[in-house]
Amino acid sequence: MRKIVILDGYAGNPGDLSWEPMKALAPCDIYDKGTVATVIERCKDAEMILTNKVAISAETMAQLPELKYIGVMATGFNIVDIAEAKRRGIVVTNVPAYSTDSVAQLTIAHLLNICWQPQHYTDEARALKWTYCGDFTYVNTPLIEMSGKQLGIVGLGQIGNAVARIALAMNMRVMALTSKSADQLPEGIMKAENLEHLLRTSDVLTMHCPLNDDTRGMINAERLAMMKKGSIVLNLARGALIVEQDLADALNSGHLFAAAVDCSTIEPPKPDHPLLTARNCYITPHLAWASYEARVRLMDVITRNVAAYLDGNPINVVN
**To the nearest whole number, what is the mean pLDDT of the chain?**
97
64 — pLDDT class (breaks 50, 70, 90): very high
In whole angstroms, give the CA distance from residue 265 to residue 201.
27
Active-site residue (options: 238, 244, 273, 295) = 238
pLDDT at 129 over 80: yes
Is 267 catalytic? The answer is yes
Top-level CATH class of 4-98+292-310? alpha beta
Amino acid at 237: A
Q: State the pLDDT at residue 317.
A: 98
Give per-residue pLDDT as tens, 137-150. 999 999 999 999 99
Say yes or no to pLDDT of 30 above 90.
yes
pLDDT digits (tens, 9 = 90+) for 167-187: 999 999 999 999 999 999 999
CA 318 vs CA 2, 70, 75, 93, 179: distances in Å: 22, 10, 10, 6, 19
Q: Is the pLDDT of residue 1 over 70?
A: no
Bridge pairing between strands 150-154 and 91-93: unpaired
The confidence score (pLDDT) of residue 90 equals: 98
The amino acid present at 200, given as its one-letter code, is R
Residue 164 CA to residue 188 CA, distance in Å, equals: 9
Active-site residue (options: 173, 208, 286, 295): 286
Strand ranges across the sheet with 91-93 = 28-30, 4-6, 48-51, 69-72, 91-93
pLDDT over 70 for what percent of the chain?
Answer: 100
The domain segmentation of the chain, as residue ranges, is: 4-98+292-310, 100-283
- 100-283 has CATH 3.90.1150.110 classification: no
Common-topology check for domains 4-98+292-310 and 100-283:
yes
pLDDT band at 237 (very low <50, low <70, confident <90, very high): very high
Active site residue 238: yes
> Would you call 273 a catalytic residue per the annotation?
no
Q: Is the peptide bond before 274 cis (omega within 30 degrees of 0)?
A: no
- In this prediction the pTM is 0.93
Model pLDDT for residues 154-169, shown as the tens digit of each residue: 999 999 999 999 999 9
Rounded percentage of the chain residues whose pLDDT exceeds 90: 99
- Catalytic pick among 66, 145, 193, 267: 267
